[in-house]
């Protein structure tokens, strides 16, 4: 998705940097990056520093940074051009749960063409684009950190450290605590679920929730908040 838009708008000065958030690092995220064959910078954030600093709670999320290094749009759902998930067919022999997950994903409210049009306008007009926000508007739209959110970040960081050191049982406790403190943070949830079940993120002994059950609980249409364009 991003590669196509980047190729189109690179002559106008747009650069795209994608960041995979995965405590598994290159071993977990590298094959997916290689499969995409990106021509733009593609990074791996195995410490989840980006989501901690910017308040990213789900993927895909986009942040617009101008040529001066100033954020002109804070984190928001970012689908540039096509809702690829809606185009995926069911692989032959795939588990029934995959079909259920794709069915729920197809119900999610996204507007790729409108978002891509906003990116094109920004590439064309720069700071004069109506989609490039003033600093005070960026601050207004940014997620405030409640004590619970700050505690969730600390719990998630501790869980990652324990996971990397091989203390997986202890890590589960702190992943669960991060989920309890910030239940709408899908980045925290998906990371923990993927460590147990990388493909299906299904029910497990370690965690109360799973991707399909939790999405159905909130309604797939609420998985991504509306993008204010």
Q: What is the mean pLDDT of residues 51-61?
A: 95
Model pTM score: 0.92
Q: Are 73 and 138 in contact (CB under 8 A)?
A: yes
1-14 tens-digit pLDDT: 799 999 999 999 99
* C-alpha radius of gyration, the chain, whole number: 18
Percent of the chain with pLDDT over 90: 86
pLDDT given at position 200: 87
145-199 tens-digit pLDDT: 899 999 999 999 999 999 999 999 999 999 999 999 999 999 999 999 999 999 8
SS (H, E, C) 13-71: CCCCCEEEECCCHHHHHHHHHHHHCCCCCEEEECCCHHHHHHCCCCCCEEEEECCCCCE
Distance CA 191, CA 39 (A): 26
113-153 tens-digit pLDDT: 999 999 999 999 999 999 999 999 999 999 788 999 999 99
Distance CA 189, CA 183 (A): 8
In 3-state terms, what secondary structure has residue 72? strand
Q: What is the DSSP letter of 226?
A: P
- What does the block give as tokens for 31? 């094959």
Cis peptide before 60 (omega within 30 of 0): yes
């Amino acid at each position: 998705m991003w590669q196509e838009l980047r190729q189109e708008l690179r002559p106008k000065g747009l650069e795209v940097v994608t960041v995979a958030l995965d405590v598994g690092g290159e071993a977990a995220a590298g094959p997916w990056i290689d499969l995409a064959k990106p021509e733009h910078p593609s990074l791996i954030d195995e410490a989840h520093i980006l989501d901690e600093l910017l308040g990213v709670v789900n993927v895909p999320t986009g942040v617009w940074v101008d040529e001066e290094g100033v954020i002109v749009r804070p984190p928001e759902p970012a689908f540039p051009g096509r809702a690829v998930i809606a185009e995926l067919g069911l692989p032959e022999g795939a588990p029934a749960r995959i079909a259920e997950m794709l069915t729920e994903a197809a119900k999610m409210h996204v507007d790729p063409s409108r978002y891509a049009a906003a990116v094109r306008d920004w590439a064309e007009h720069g700071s004069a684009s109506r989609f490039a926000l003033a600093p005070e508007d960026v601050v207004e739209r940014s997620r405030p950190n409640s004590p619970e959110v700050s505690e969730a970040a600390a719990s998630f960081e501790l869980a990652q450290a324990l996971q990397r050191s091989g203390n997986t049982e202890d890590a589960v406790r702190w992943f669960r605590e991060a989920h309890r403190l910030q239940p709408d943070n899908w980045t925290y949830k998906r990371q923990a679920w993927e460590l147990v079940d990388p493909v299906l993120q299904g029910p497990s002994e370690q965690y109360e929730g799973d991707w399909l059950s939790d999405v159905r609980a909130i309604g797939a249409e609420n998985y991504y908040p509306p993008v204010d364009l």
